[in-house]
Amino acid sequence: MRYRSNARCPRLISLSLAAWLGCAAGVCAQVPQRVVSMNLCTDLFAMALAAPGQLISVSAIASDPLSSPMAEEAARYPANHGSAEEIFLLQPDLVVAGIWSDPAAIALLRRLDIRVEQFVLEDELSDIPAQLARMGALLGRQTEAQTLIRQFETDLAALSTPPGTRRAAFYYPNGYTLGPDSLADDVVTTAGYRNIIAELDRSASGQLALELLVLAAPDLIITSQPYRGASQAEEILRHPALQTLIAVGQTYQSGPEWACGTPAVLTALRALRDLRIGGAQ
Amino acid sequence: MSLLTLTDLTVLRGICPVVDQATLAVASGEVVGLIGPNGAGKTTLMRAALGLLPHGGRSSLDDIPAAQRARNVAWLPQSREIAWPVTVETLVMLGRVPHLSAGQRPSDADRAAVTEALEAMDLITFRSRAATELSGGEQARVLIARALAQQTPLILADEPVAGLDPGHQIATMQAFRTLAAEGTATLVSLHDLGLAARHCDRLVLMDRGRIVAEGRPEFVLKRENLRDTFGITAHLSVGPDGLIFQPLETRR
Amino acid sequence: MNRALIPVLSSLVAILFLVSLLTGPAGFGPGESLRALLSPQSDAITLVMREIRLPRAILAVLVGVSLGLSGAALQGYLRNPLAEPGLIGVSGSAALGAVIALHSGLAASFVLALPLAALTGALISTLLILALAGPRGSSMTLILAGIAISALAGALLSLALNLSPNPFATAETVFWLLGSLADRSFTHVWIALPFMALGWVLLLSLTRPLDALTLGEDAAQSLGIRVDRARLTLIVGIASCVGAATAVAGAIGFVGLVVPHILRPIVGAQPGRLLPASALGGAALVLAADIATRLILPERDLKLGVLMALVGAPLFLHLIYKTRRESL
């Protein structure tokens, strides 16, 4: 959905008038009424917590079903591509972004006196409540945030298992694996698996040689859904050695619910736990 | 017995006839000299006779398959290409290619033919040297040796002695004569009319694509032909061992 | 020295093949590796040896033979020591064909579409080069035509990758233009082998024609060599060899330049004898380079083409310097 600036103009005028009048009357609205999100993760949090009409734009990638767990919902919002000009024209009173979002765009928005709040990507499930709380505070939706947090913590406790004997490995295009510095690693450990990367004396995500993966012989290999068109990067996922490993063990395709630390990640957690129980039988 | 018969051989470049209805025959045991000014069409005639150029008229070599033709006639082109620094012996051995079937290694007979050719061209001392390191004249002799090693009944040579010193020029022509005595037929194009007069049985004079005279050297090299075709005057006399010919002055 | 060349090169290839099998990030010993390879077990080491290291080593030999042979044949025909399929744009065009087949989805529906498309790309550029360079490939024309074709192929390749629906595509340019044997499998071996075998047969049949061409096309024809047939055999042979090699390993350059150059003095400069020697030499060179990529900077995925260029480009400059005295 594209933003049509012309249609918004009259509304803009009446809203600004109301805000000014409200401010002038001493009942200044602290809660932002026009929130723009320019990062997938903040999109997801904002969509979950915002009041109707409060969120006016999300990033384009939020409506990509391969990358976003809330693609259908996101499609209902106008999309932005993270450019300062685009966002400025929306006249937001709050912009939420990730810590790695385009620094040039964010600096420009701040120079134009627009408030930008940046969120760090969490690398542990236990950080998610804090993120929810912060977003709730920013949007003036603390109650709703608390509900979600309570739900999340209950579900998480129910699904958590201490690591057992089953071992898992991440193997993505280009032979990329994830280490203890990633959220995905936390998900997999909470589901009761051990990440083989610890056995290999590595602490960071990065490329893993196929040989080492084969030798480690994990019980579960987590890989990604292939994109359209072929690529050399994804070719390694079809390597006979990897396929043999998968045939002997289990495989799981990490989908959009793994993106960012949102409560949606519990779906993944549930699926992994079921796999582990199923695999152990 | 005629080893090469050309009947009305014609080569066109566009609409211009570079060789115009040439008819000639070269018999076994003959050394025939092909003479004429630059651009007369000598090289073109020889290449067309060999089937290297499309032509009208007929050459007796036309219908023979390439492999058989290579055993019948050796061609020594004017451009003296030696692409790689192979040894002289290797290069001369290439003359034996038509006699070797696919994958066959050279036999003693082949090596003997090569040695004979090297001796005839006074190259025995050079046999293991890289051909590209030799002087221009020496390289020319190597290429002639290659044609000799082919041991064909017919040899076509385009300016084989250009750039050689007098001794080696004469030696080359004498080598052709020796082969003629054994039955080989040779058609050789020459610029040196003195050599042609002295060592050829017959001369064929070409001018602007046409054969304008043919026959014994003293007949072909008469004053009118020299004046009309080459624009020169010359001294022609019979010496003790053969004709003596020396161009004197230009005359047009 | 001449007679010993082929046996010596064969032994070298065999030794390097063995070393390649024993090289890799997984640190098990040679005894274990070889036992795993030969015995019919089904544990992890066997899997690594049989499905990862063995196809990689085999492919290195196949690619090396194909590229060495192509380089020697092309140089023999054009009578020019600077001619090389990578330099004159044949590898680049083959890579373009491969990329189009892969990213249009054609290769997914018909597995042989990949090598065939690469072969077609190689064929088109070889025809173009031979048409431009003329009967005797003068260095100037050859190199200029090669630059133009390489540049065009590279640009079209990047464009094709940019237009791909796959987000990983753009990063692939490096693989296609530099080449790599990492993580290849037997699938790649089976795709490439038939086309390479055809190419080898065709190019090795040119032994005598190339020898005769030392005297030039006219004289060669008069020796009974069918020069036009040789030209066609050369074109199809090179397209087959280079196309198949590029389809599975990307464009690897300089092999066909370095190997014939080193071996030429040993075979007495005879182009016919250079063919089998370059085939084995090429295999040895690619094996050695592939081993080196795994020993130098193993975590950084050094591309094969980088090492080739580091060795080959200075040699190319040296050759240009040496031949600049001759008429270009």
Domains along the sequence of chain A with CATH: 5-156 (3.40.50.1980), 167-280 (3.40.50.1980)
Cα of C270 to nearest chain B Cα, Å: 6
Top-confidence residue, C164 or C260: C260
Top-confidence residue, A234 or C212: C212
Tell me which chain C residues have a C-beta less than 8 angstroms from the C-beta of B97. Answer: 208, 211-212, 223-225
CB contact under 8 A, C219 and B67: no
* Distances C284 to A199, A238, C258, C271, C280 between C-alpha atoms, Å: 36, 29, 12, 19, 6
Collapsed DSSP state (helix, strand, coil) of residue A55: strand
- Residue B12 has a CB neighbour count (10 Å cut-off) of 14
Report pTM: 0.85
User: For position A18, what pLDDT does the model report?
Assistant: 52
Residues 6+ apart with CB under 8 A from C138: C80, C327, C328
Can you list the domains of chain C with their CATH numbers? 41-323 (1.10.3470.10)
Structure tokens at A20: 């000014």
Pairing of strands B154-158, B185-189: parallel
User: For position A28, what pLDDT does the model report?
Assistant: 42
Residue found by looking up tokens 């007369």 in the block: B40
Enumerate the H helices of C163-270 as residue ranges. 173-178, 186-204, 207-212, 217-222, 227-249, 255-263
Which residue of chain A is at minimal alpha-carbon distance from C101? A230
Point out the residue among A230, A240, A244 whose CB comes nearest to the CB of C166.
Answer: A230
Chain-centre distance of CA A105, in angstroms?
Answer: 21
Tell me which chain C residues have a C-beta less than 8 angstroms from the C-beta of A227. Answer: 165-168
Task: Please report which confidence band the pLDDT of residue B19 belongs to, taking 50, 70 and 90 as the band edges.
Answer: very high
CB A116, CB A122: distance < 8 Å: no
End-to-end CA distance of chain B: 40
Structure tokens at B151: 């041991």
State the Cα–Cα distance between residues A271 and A269, nearest whole angstrom. 5
Residues 6+ apart with CB under 8 A from B116: B148, B149
Q: Flag whether residue A212 sits within 8 Å of chain C, measured between CB atoms.
A: yes
* Distances A249 to A166, A244, A271, B159, B249 between C-alpha atoms, Å: 11, 9, 16, 81, 101
Q: Which of A266, A271, A279, A65 minimizes the C-alpha distance to A149?
A: A266
Which residue of chain B is at minimal alpha-carbon distance from C267? B86
User: For position C300, what pLDDT does the model report?
Assistant: 75
* Distances C171 to A174, C158, C168, C175, C290 between C-alpha atoms, Å: 10, 10, 6, 8, 21
Task: Please report which confidence band the pLDDT of residue C31 belongs to, taking 50, 70 and 90 as the band edges.
Answer: confident
User: For position A126, what pLDDT does the model report?
Assistant: 87
User: For position C171, what pLDDT does the model report?
Assistant: 83
State the Cα–Cα distance between residues C222 and B52, nearest whole angstrom. 8
- Residue A74 has a CB neighbour count (10 Å cut-off) of 24
Residues 6+ apart with CB under 8 A from C285: C64, C68, C255, C258, C259
Residue found by looking up tokens 């360079």 in the block: C133
Collapsed DSSP state (helix, strand, coil) of residue A43: helix
Top-confidence residue, C63 or C170: C63
What is the average per-residue pLDDT within C242-260? 94
User: For position A25, what pLDDT does the model report?
Assistant: 43
List the subunits that have 3+ CB pairs under 8 angstroms with A: C
CB contact under 8 A, C171 and A228: no
State the Cα–Cα distance between residues C256 and C203, nearest whole angstrom. 13
Which amino acid does the sequence have at C278?
Answer: S
CB C264, CB C274: distance < 8 Å: yes
Which residue of chain C is at minimal alpha-carbon distance from A208? C299
Point out the residue among C79, C218, C222 whose CB comes nearest to the CB of B83.
Answer: C79
User: For position C125, what pLDDT does the model report?
Assistant: 92
Helix (H) or strand (E) holding A245: helix A240-248
Torsion of CA B41, B42, B44, B47, to 10 degrees: 170
List the subunits that have 3+ CB pairs under 8 angstroms with B: C
pLDDT for C144-187, tens place per residue?
888 899 999 999 999 999 888 787 888 888 899 899 999 899 99
Structure tokens at A152: 């999340």
Is the pLDDT assigned to residue B214 strictly greater than 80?
A: yes
Top-confidence residue, B63 or B144: B144
Residues 6+ apart with CB under 8 A from B219: B213
User: For position B54, what pLDDT does the model report?
Assistant: 92
Which residue of chain C is at minimal alpha-carbon distance from B85? C269
Is the pLDDT assigned to residue A226 strictly greater than 60?
A: yes
Q: Flag whether residue C108 sits within 8 Å of chain A, measured between CB atoms.
A: yes
- The DSSP bridge partners found for residue A169 are A221
CB contact under 8 A, C270 and B150: no
Structure tokens at C15: 């030794």
State the Cα–Cα distance between residues B203 and B196, nearest whole angstrom. 7
Which residue of chain A is at minimal alpha-carbon distance from C167? A227
Computed on alpha carbons and rounded to an integer, the radius of gyration of chain A in Å comes to: 22
CB B202, CB B218: distance < 8 Å: no
Helix (H) or strand (E) holding B180: helix B166-181
Q: Indicate the DSSP class of residue A63.
A: G
State the Cα–Cα distance between residues A129 and A145, nearest whole angstrom. 9
User: For position A13, what pLDDT does the model report?
Assistant: 56
Q: How many CA atoms lie within 13 A of C276 on its CB side?
A: 13
**ipTM associated with this complex:** 0.91
What is the average per-residue pLDDT within A170-181? 90
Residues 226..285 of C with a Cβ closer than 8 Å to B: which?
Answer: 226, 264, 268-271
pLDDT for B70-129, tens place per residue?
999 999 999 889 999 999 999 999 999 999 988 889 999 999 999 999 999 999 999 999
What is the average per-residue pLDDT within B182-197? 94
Enumerate the H helices of chain C as residue ranges. 2-21, 30-38, 44-47, 54-78, 90-103, 106-109, 113-133, 139-162, 173-178, 186-204, 207-212, 217-222, 227-249, 255-263, 271-295, 304-323
Collapsed DSSP state (helix, strand, coil) of residue A232: helix
Task: Please report which confidence band the pLDDT of residue C26 belongs to, taking 50, 70 and 90 as the band edges.
Answer: confident
pLDDT for A251-271, tens place per residue?
898 888 887 878 888 888 888
CB C239, CB C69: distance < 8 Å: no
- Residue B216 has a CB neighbour count (10 Å cut-off) of 13
Helix (H) or strand (E) holding A19: helix A5-24
CB contact under 8 A, B82 and C214: yes
Starting at the earlier edge strand, list the strands of the sheet with A55-59: A79-80, A55-59, A35-37, A94-98, A116-119
CB C304, CB C314: distance < 8 Å: no
Cα of A137 to nearest chain C Cα, Å: 36
- Residue B56 has a CB neighbour count (10 Å cut-off) of 14
Q: Flag whether residue A225 sits within 8 Å of chain C, measured between CB atoms.
A: no
Mean pLDDT of chain B: 93
What is the average per-residue pLDDT within B177-205? 94
**Could you give the angle at which helices A40-49 and A128-139 cross, rounded to 10 degrees?**
60
Is the pLDDT assigned to residue A274 strictly greater than 80?
A: yes
Point out the residue among A231, A239, A244 whose CB comes nearest to the CB of C183.
Answer: A239
Q: Indicate the DSSP class of residue A153.
A: H
State the Cα–Cα distance between residues A42 and A46, nearest whole angstrom. 6
Residue found by looking up tokens 């408030």 in the block: A115
CATH class of the structural domain B2-81+152-250: alpha beta
Residue C327 φ then ψ, to 5°: -65, 130
State the Cα–Cα distance between residues C180 and C286, nearest whole angstrom. 10
Task: Verify B-C touch: 3 or more CB pairs within 8 A.
Answer: yes
Task: Verify A-B touch: 3 or more CB pairs within 8 A.
Answer: no
Structure tokens at A251: 């495989």
Collapsed DSSP state (helix, strand, coil) of residue C69: helix
State the Cα–Cα distance between residues A147 and A155, nearest whole angstrom. 12
Cα of C212 to nearest chain A Cα, Å: 44
Structure tokens at C159: 């464009």
State the Cα–Cα distance between residues C310 and A120, nearest whole angstrom. 43
CB C67, CB C242: distance < 8 Å: yes
State the Cα–Cα distance between residues A95 and A36, nearest whole angstrom. 5
Q: Indicate the DSSP class of residue A121.
A: P
Structure tokens at C157: 């390749």
Q: Which of C315, C194, C310 minimizes the C-alpha distance to C259?
A: C315
Torsion of CA C319, C325, C327, C328, to 10 degrees: 40
CB contact under 8 A, C215 and B82: yes
Torsion of CA B93, B98, B99, B105, to 10 degrees: 50
Q: Indicate the DSSP class of residue C172.
A: G
Residues 6+ apart with CB under 8 A from B107: none
CB contact under 8 A, C215 and B94: yes
pLDDT for C110-147, tens place per residue?
888 999 999 999 999 989 888 887 666 566 787 788 88
Is the pLDDT assigned to residue A207 strictly greater than 70?
A: yes
Q: Indicate the DSSP class of residue C52.
A: I
CB contact under 8 A, C25 and A212: yes
Collapsed DSSP state (helix, strand, coil) of residue C89: coil
User: For position B69, what pLDDT does the model report?
Assistant: 93
pLDDT for A20-68, tens place per residue?
554 444 434 578 999 999 999 999 999 999 999 999 999 999 998 888 8
Is the pLDDT assigned to residue A198 strictly greater than 80?
A: yes
Point out the residue among C44, C165, C301 whose CB comes nearest to the CB of A207.
Answer: C301
Q: Flag whether residue A227 sits within 8 Å of chain C, measured between CB atoms.
A: yes
